[in-house]
A and B are shown apart, each in its own frame.
Chain A
Amino acid sequence: MNKLFPTQEIGSLAKPRWRVKGYRGEQLSAEEISEAISWGEKLGIANLKQFVQVLRAKDSPKRRKAIREWSAKFAIKFFEKAGLDVVFDGEQWRSEMYEHFIRRVAGFQFLGYVKSFDYRYFNKAACVSEPKYVKPIYLEEFLFTKQNATKKVKVPFTGAYTLVDWTFNEYYEKKIDGKIGDFTRRKFEAKREFLFNLIKNVIRPEIRNLVDSGAEWIQIDEPAATTNPSDEEMELFVEAFNETVRGFNCKFSLHNCYSNYKILAKYAPELRNCNQLALEFANRDSRQTGTGKIRTGYEEIKIFEEYGFSGNYGLGVVDVHSNFVEPPELVRDRVLHAVKIVGDASRIWVNPDCGLRTRSWDVSFQKLKNMVLGAELARKSLQ
């Protein structure tokens, strides 16, 4: 990008009610339809008549597919209308980041729900045979987005380390059983074999497909990156990232949030071909304007710098867990504060901490618009 502080989104956007119910095959209420239309008008979506026909139609595979496509179209326009420079479809195509991927790969079986926290659970799979690439995972979604977007496109891609860390490793643990006596070693070696087989058999073929179809930028999402902060595990994570991106003619970035950045910072310089680290900071920061000491949430950029990370930062300036709409001046000051630490304005990109899926469209839209205004204020103040 030629301009300073380009703006981007990170991943998910909430699914509107008409998308959720419609995709489930349910009929929509008049209120839900009018809510859909009002967003359609606000975003300047073409052919709204046709859209309403789809919403009112009876359930069929064709209607479900159409609903998914319309919601992707809405989300792309949503980001573009908010003024972002780099967009995707708000992951309207995906159920979520884990299950969507695993369900499209052979070798896995879902075992049921396990606790995430409180009364929240996630459906956890086991790897039961060698993972095999049977069909594209994100390709169709990417092609649709590319066709419908006018801005630059970035593909969010769930990283191999996270997929492995969130999956029971039955196949490889069984395979290695008896070969290594020590349980600790056995589990680690089984994890390693699982990880690199997944990368070789599934992840790289999918990236190959995306790149051959014109993907220019892939964001590897690794929320689990620092779950196991030991040196051995962190080295495994770095090796997995490097092997994932090796040799492709494509830009890669890494997104990680709500993690231990002290640990990540230590290993960040070892990530090869990682153009940008998109990180969460706003969540930890004060809401007052200003730069300097007040910006407590951005302290850890210093650690990345001290360890020698030389790539770009995707600076999280919008808290995705709160309805507080960051004023443009606050966004500006967060950006300017980061520039002071990094010393090179061209290394700073601007984005929310993470995907906005937990916020309403109204709140998300205001937050993103202010983010774009804040980036513009920061640009002006440096001129």
Chain B
Amino acid sequence: MKTIGCYLTGILPRPEGLIETTRAYERGRISREELENAFEKATKEVIKVQLSAGLSYVIDGMLKWQDLLRPFTENLNGVSVGSLARWFNNNTFYRKPIICSKISCEKSIVKEITYIEFLPKNIPWKAILPAPYTFAQLAENQHYRDKNELMFDYAKILNKEVTELADIGFQHIQLSDPALVYQPTSKSIFKDELVIVKEALEVAVKGVSAKTCLQTFFGDFTRVLPEALEFPVDYLGIDLYETRVETLEKYDFDKSVALGIMDGRSSLIENPSGLAKLTKKIVKTIYSSDFKEMFVCPNCDLEFLPWKRAKEKIKTLGVLARQLEKELYE
């Protein structure tokens, strides 16, 4: 029995109405309550679109997240919100977490910011959090002896977060790890570092009952192969718009993959038949034996697109998954 699932992998773009509202709020023209109402309305809309597209898991859309790290940057003890920095190779910016003292947390960060009450009961839920390596790499460390120490402290907090999310019903936890593969100027592969990354991941997902995925993007996944095959997660997410497929196909996977086959940074709507063909080719080469479960997904967040285009991409994703399921069964 094979399953082809599909889901989203990051922050969704704010629908037009919400953009207008956030701008009005920023200019002091509307109240906090009106802003909150607009977020609720938009969240319901982005959930509805995922349902009608027939995705296998649903996310709340993360519309409030100013960047992937922000809920943590704002809520962890020992961290202050720093200045703007470029979000990898995008024309989008995040605020650097400045680590001023040992980090800790009494709150439930992701649970608090997520619109759990709007998530439908009839479809499994997915939550997305920054992976230990990415958090540590993007932070400005003014306290810890080195970034690894910071990474392990963050992984412990992350474990508390994901355990809690799994307990309240999230069946899929994605840890987003762009920094692990985004190495545009370095030729060497950090093999030693990957051992530590694996240990930090072990801390982060220890005892978690939900399925876990390490979603990489903005870089070539083959940089972390074959080590990533041993990472303590159920799925590995691969950005096919940055990964050399020829190299990828040299490896034998016994782990499930989430193929980032839809380009979240291009406004062009993909042709599902073309993507299905490529997916089948990759699947046939990376699995020498039969595979049990895999996902097709956008390569990264869809927040780089206007919502209208993102919506079309979400629909196409559903079409692609159904087409694949049909064709792979035949």
Contact = CB atoms under 8 A, between A and B. Distances in A.
Contacts of A124: 306
B305 interface: yes
A2 interface: no
B309 interface: yes
Interface stretch (A30-38, A115-123, A338-346): A115-123
Contact of B13 (A114, A168, A184, A231): A114
B118 interface: no
A39 interface: no
Contacts of B244: 182, 184
Contacts of B303: 114-115
Contact of A168 (B16, B23, B266): B266
Contacts of A119: 22-23, 25-26
B93 A117 contact: yes
Contacts of B19: 113, 121
A187 interface: yes
Contacts, number: 90
Interface in B268-326: 268, 274, 303-309
Contacts of A187: 241, 266
Interface in A228-275: 228-231, 233, 263
Interface stretch (A82-90, A145-153, A169-177): A169-177
A368 interface: no
Contact of A111 (B67, B93, B309): B309
Nearest to A111: B306
Contacts of A184: 220, 241-244
B14 interface: yes
A233 B89 CA distance: 11
A54 B91 CA distance: 39
Contacts of B23: 119, 121
A227 B92 CA distance: 10
B91 A182 contact: no
Q: Which of A170, A174, A184 has the most CB of B within 10 A?
A: A184
Contact of B91 (A113, A166, A173, A177): A166
A126 interface: yes
Contacts of B246: 182
Interface in A151-198: 165-166, 168-170, 173-174, 177-178, 181-184, 187
Given A117-B92, A227-B90, A111 B243 contact: no
Contact of B240 (A115, A166, A183, A224): A183
B89 A111 contact: no
A229 B92 contact: no
Contacts of A165: 91
A115 B13 contact: yes
Nearest to B243: A184
A173 B306 contact: no
Contacts of B16: 112-113
Given A111-B309, A117-B66, A121-B19, A230 B184 contact: yes
Given A183-B241, A184-B242, A170 B267 contact: yes
Contacts of A111: 267, 305-306, 308-309
Interface string B223-263: 00000000000000000111111100000000000000001
Contact of A169 (B266, B305, B306): B266
B25 A114 contact: no
Contacts of B95: 117
Given A121-B19, A182-B244, A184-B244, A114 B93 contact: no
A126 B267 CA distance: 7
A229 B185 contact: yes
Interface in B90-129: 90-95
Nearest to B84: A117
Interface string B16-34: 1001001101100000000
A121 B305 CA distance: 11
Interface string B62-90: 00001100000000000000001010011
B89 A229 contact: yes
Nearest to A177: B274
Contacts of B84: 117
A120 B23 CA distance: 7
B308 A112 contact: yes
Nearest to A223: B91
Contacts of A182: 244-246
Given A169-B266, A230-B185, A115 B14 contact: yes
Interface string A269-288: 00000000000000000000
Contact of B266 (A117, A173, A230, A231): A173
Interface in B169-205: 184-185
A229 B184 contact: yes
A197 B154 CA distance: 47
Contacts of A114: 13, 92, 303-306
B184 A113 contact: no
Interface string A302-340: 000000000000000000000000000000000000000
A169 B268 CA distance: 8
B267 A263 contact: no
A289 to B, nearest CB: 24
Given A111-B308, A115-B304, 20 more contacts: A111-B306, A112-B306, A113-B19, A114-B92, A116-B91, A116-B92, A119-B23, A119-B25, A120-B26, A121-B23, A126-B267, A182-B244, A182-B246, A184-B241, A184-B243, A187-B266, A229-B184, A230-B184, A231-B185, A263-B185
**A-B residue pairs, 3 tightest by C-beta:** A112-B306, A168-B267, A117-B93
22 contacts: A111-B309, A112-B306, A113-B16, A113-B19, A115-B304, A116-B93, A117-B67, A117-B94, A122-B91, A124-B306, A173-B266, A173-B268, A174-B268, A177-B274, A184-B243, A187-B241, A187-B266, A228-B89, A228-B184, A229-B89, A230-B185, A263-B185
Interface of A: 111-122, 124, 126, 165-166, 168-170, 173-174, 177-178, 181-184, 187, 224, 227-231, 233, 263
